[in-house]
Each structure stands twice: as C-alpha cells, then as structure tokens.
Amino acid sequence: MERKLPVFLVLVTLLIAGGMVSPPVQAQISDADGLALDIPEPPGARQELPSPIPMIYEFVGGLMGGDQDRCLLNFDVATFLALTFGAPLKRLNPSEYQELYAYQVQVQRNEFRFLSRIMHRMAKDARFNYSNPRFHNNVQSKVVVNMKTTKGNHSLELYARYVNDRWAIYDYILDGKRFTQGFKEGLGSLKLDGYIASLRPFYDEFSGTRQVKNDEYGISLKVPSRFQLKEKLGPNLLASVSGLDGQFLVHVQAAQYSAPQTLTQVATEIKETILPFKPRLYDQWKTDIAGVDIGNVLFQFEKNGKLLFTHMVIIPMGAKLVVLNFYHSTLQLMKHLTNVREKMLDSLNLTKIEANAGELSLPGDDLGLPASPGTGEIPAEPPSDDGFPQAPPPPTAPEIPPPGPGEEPGMLDPDAGPPPPPPDEGAEEPPPPPPDEGTEEPPPPPPDMGSEEPPPPPDEGGDLPPPDAGGGSDVSF
C-alpha cells in the first residue's frame, strides 16, 4: 500500500501537467479553422511573372548603402530614353543610338553615384516601410518606400517594368519630384541631336595627356593634353588647368607649415577660411596614397554673388600641404565631369612623402562609404541592350531630400563641417578661379557663364533641393 501511494501521486501529477499543456494545442487547432486544404490555380497562373520585390530591395539597398553599381544594375536606360525623347529616338540610326546610349549610361552612373552617396549619409538608423506592388498589365509595377530617418521622413516611389526577362527601375519620385519630369524640364528647348552633342565633350575618350609636376611639393598628375595648363602662377598657386570652353577649371594650390600636420588639422584650418562664404556640404570621404590620408569633399559656396560647386582634394604631406580645387559653375557639370576628375586623380603621384604626417581614421558610421572615386502606357519596346552596362539617371533628378523640420538647409556646422578651399597665405577669401596670363596673384572668381560662353549641358531646372540634408554635419575629417 505504501508503494501504491507514490505511484498514484505521480500519475495525478502527470494528468495535471497534461491538462496544463493541452489548451495551447487546442488553441492552435482552433486558430487554423477556416484555412483551405488547397488553393486553386487562377487562370493563366502558368504565365505569371516573378515578383519585382527582390529587385526593389536590391535597388534600395544600393541606394542607402552608397553603392551606385547595385542601383545601376537595376535601372533600365533604354526605357528611360524612350520615355524622355519618344518618337525622335526612333529616327536615330543604330550607330547614333549606340552613341546616345553609351553617353547616357555614363550620365546615369554619375547621377546615381551622387544620389547614392547622399542617401547613404542620411540612411543611418533609417526605418523602411515597403508597400505591396501595384501592377498595370502585369508588366508594369509601382512600389512606394517610406523612409524614416534622423533627418525627417522621405518618400520614394519606384516605377519598374518587366523587360528583357527581368524587372528594372525606369523612373522614380523622390519627395514628390519625378525624375523623368525634372530631366525633361532641364532639357528645355534642347533637341535630341543637341543633347547628344552636349555630352560628347564630357564622355568622349581623351586622346593624349600631359603632366603637371612640382618637385618642391613632390606631386605630379596627368591632365588631358587638350586642356590649357599654366604653371607657377604664384608661391601658393602651383598650376591652373582649364578646358571644355571654360566649363572645367582646376587649381593646384600649396602651403607650408612649421610642423607636420594631419588631415584633421589642415581641414579645420581650411574650413575656417570658407565659412564666411556660406558653404553647404554634399559629401566627403577619405582615400590614401602610400599611407598619406587624402580628404575629398564635395560642396558648394558663394563667391561674388555666384554659386560654385567644388570637389576639393586635401593632401597633407608632413609640413607641406597640396590642395586640388575642381571648380564647376553648376551641380550638373560637377556630375558630368566626375569621369575627368577620377582619371586625373588616378594618375596622382606623391614623389616625396615626409614622415610623421600623422594618422587619421574616419568615424565608424562613415566606414561604409565607397573609398574611391546617382502612368500611362509605356512607349514601344526600346532597342535591346544586350551588354547592359552600368548606368544611373540623367541631369534633372531631385538630388537631395529636404532637411528635417527646424533645420537650416545644408548649412555647415562650424563644429563639424567639411574642409573648405585651401588656405591662401595672407588672403581672407577662398582660392579664386582661373588666372590671367602673366599674373603673379591668384586671379578673379571662377568662370563666368556669360553670354559669350557656350551654355552648359542641361541642368536641374533650378529646383535643386538644399544640400547637406543627408547629415553632412555629422561626419568630418
């Protein structure tokens, strides 16, 4: 009898435990009430296309990750051209179309490169909400992406089509501004032939180069031989390079210090010289050559009542400093000339590197930036693009989302902004553009786009959102 009591207690315990477990199991069964054993195939199911969602994720991931190549891979240049130019596009012969297509691929690439960097800067801690795809005739789709960032909320509407056995983006609306519409407005009265001609100077291959070299500062680089070169214009202006009918200008400037300087130190000093000129930051990143930290900054500033768009390259070498300033009169010119700047910077060589130049690392949240350098019926099927090259959208897109509420659009933070133009010994103004023949001093402001100079290629139409909305003041050298 004594042995039966423990056995009885064990059985009672198991029954109670089983009773406690059974309700959830019953709840699961009851929750499945109403589910069909099978879902019948709808008519035409065997001809259904794959979902555009994986492509959308890939595109947005590239945009927010600062990776323009992922964006370009999922953008259809042929459809964009068909939407933009319509019937005149069909009158081009195959060689003319291939020339336009090749140029537009490069225009698109530079556009997405710029946009993806800006979006990457504002993407920190961003939250995304994707809508379900909206379809039109099964081969056209729209997905709305809402982004919540530390700089405010933004909306991105992506338009895609199924072409060449894949989904690809062909247009988008960023914060209410449609890319194709802005591009057409930027073209103005420029016809298709004129547009092709306007791109040739920027994207044709340059035949031959010449070398800019300065032994005192230990620097050399190659420039296209058709550009005009002036050297030793003053103690601080080592060289000036201009070309493309006054649309391209580079100043190679220099300074010497009593002690070795780091990139952080010279950038801080340079920044102070340009703050009075209302600088606004687009992007900044760091590269290096043989252990020398090199700062790259894209920004705009005002000079003599005009806006200048500048790519500054800051090269501190011990107690010596060399700064390359690439000046452009419009934002679109700065994008178009990306290829030219990159080729020149690829040839940059530091022939004398002083020791103890200092070390620098960017803040952790900037490490993802690339280190070297953005309804209705679809028109008839555009010419096929078998080798689908890399490419990003053209001139007139909404480049930068507006700043968050209460923020001043794009103004540099004096405590953390980008390095401005190089210091000019004894001067209070930033380094001026092109020098006149025979002058000893740095010459007057950048190229004046007056009536006598050829007009620049199509621009954004004047409706450019303010820069620095992507959190530019959060990162500095």
**Can you give the pLDDT of all 477 residues of the chain as single tens digits?**
555 555 555 555 655 555 555 455 444 445 677 788 888 877 766 667 889 999 999 999 998 888 889 999 999 999 999 999 999 999 999 999 999 999 999 999 999 999 888 888 777 678 889 999 999 988 999 999 998 887 788 899 999 999 999 999 999 999 999 999 999 988 888 999 999 998 888 887 777 888 999 999 999 999 988 899 999 888 889 999 998 888 889 999 999 999 999 999 999 999 888 889 999 988 889 998 888 999 999 999 998 888 899 999 999 999 999 999 999 988 888 998 998 899 899 999 998 765 443 333 333 333 223 333 332 332 333 333 333 333 333 333 333 333 333 333 333 333 333 334 443 433 333 333 333 333 333 333 333 333 333 333 334 333 333 344 333 333 343
Query: For position 386, what pLDDT does the model report?
Result: 36
Q: Could you tell me where in the chain the CATH 3.40.1000.10 domains are found?
A: 208-369+403-447
User: Greatest CA separation found in the chain?
Assistant: 121
- How is residue 64 written in tokens? 């927010």
Query: For position 351, what pLDDT does the model report?
Result: 81
- How is residue 407 written in tokens? 């923020």
- Topology given in CATH for the domain delimited by 51-200: Nuclear Transport Factor 2; Chain: A, (3.10.450)
Q: How many residues does the chain have?
A: 477
Closest CA to 123 of 476, 401, 334, 394: 401
Could you count the other beta carbons within 10 Å of the beta carbon of residue 309? 23
Could you count the other beta carbons within 10 Å of the beta carbon of residue 27? 10
CA atoms of 350 and 117, how far apart (whole Å): 27
Could you count the other beta carbons within 10 Å of the beta carbon of residue 376? 7
Could you count the other beta carbons within 10 Å of the beta carbon of residue 457? 24
Residues 135, 82, 376: CA angle, nearest 5 degrees: 35
Closest CA to 434 of 141, 182, 230: 230
Within 8 A by CB and 6+ apart from 31, the residues are: none
CA atoms of 434 and 419, how far apart (whole Å): 21
Q: Could you tell me where in the chain the CATH 3.10.450.710 domains are found?
A: 51-200
Q: What secondary structure letter does DSSP report for 220?
A: E
Query: For position 247, what pLDDT does the model report?
Result: 83
Q: What secondary structure letter does DSSP report for 75?
A: B
Q: 40-62: buried (b, 16+ CB within 10 Å) or exposed (e) per residue?
A: eeeeeeeeeeeebeebbebbbeb
């405590």: which residue's tokens? 415
Query: For position 72, what pLDDT does the model report?
Result: 94
- How is residue 104 written in tokens? 């537009």
Could you count the other beta carbons within 10 Å of the beta carbon of residue 431? 25
Query: For position 9, what pLDDT does the model report?
Result: 58
pTM of the model: 0.63
Q: Say how many Å lie between the first and final Cα of the chain, rounded.
A: 85
DSSP code string of 190-223: --HHHHHHHHHHHHSPP--EEEEEETTTTEEEEE
CATH of 208-369+403-447, one of 3.20.20.70, 3.40.1000.10, 3.40.1190.20, 3.30.360.10: 3.40.1000.10
CA atoms of 341 and 168, how far apart (whole Å): 30
Query: For position 16, what pLDDT does the model report?
Result: 57
Q: 384-413: buried (b, 16+ CB within 10 Å) or exposed (e) per residue?
A: ebeebebbbbbbbbbbbbbbbeeeeebbbe
Query: For position 78, what pLDDT does the model report?
Result: 95
CA atoms of 141 and 164, how far apart (whole Å): 15
DSSP code string of 158-175: EEEEEETTEEEEEEEEET
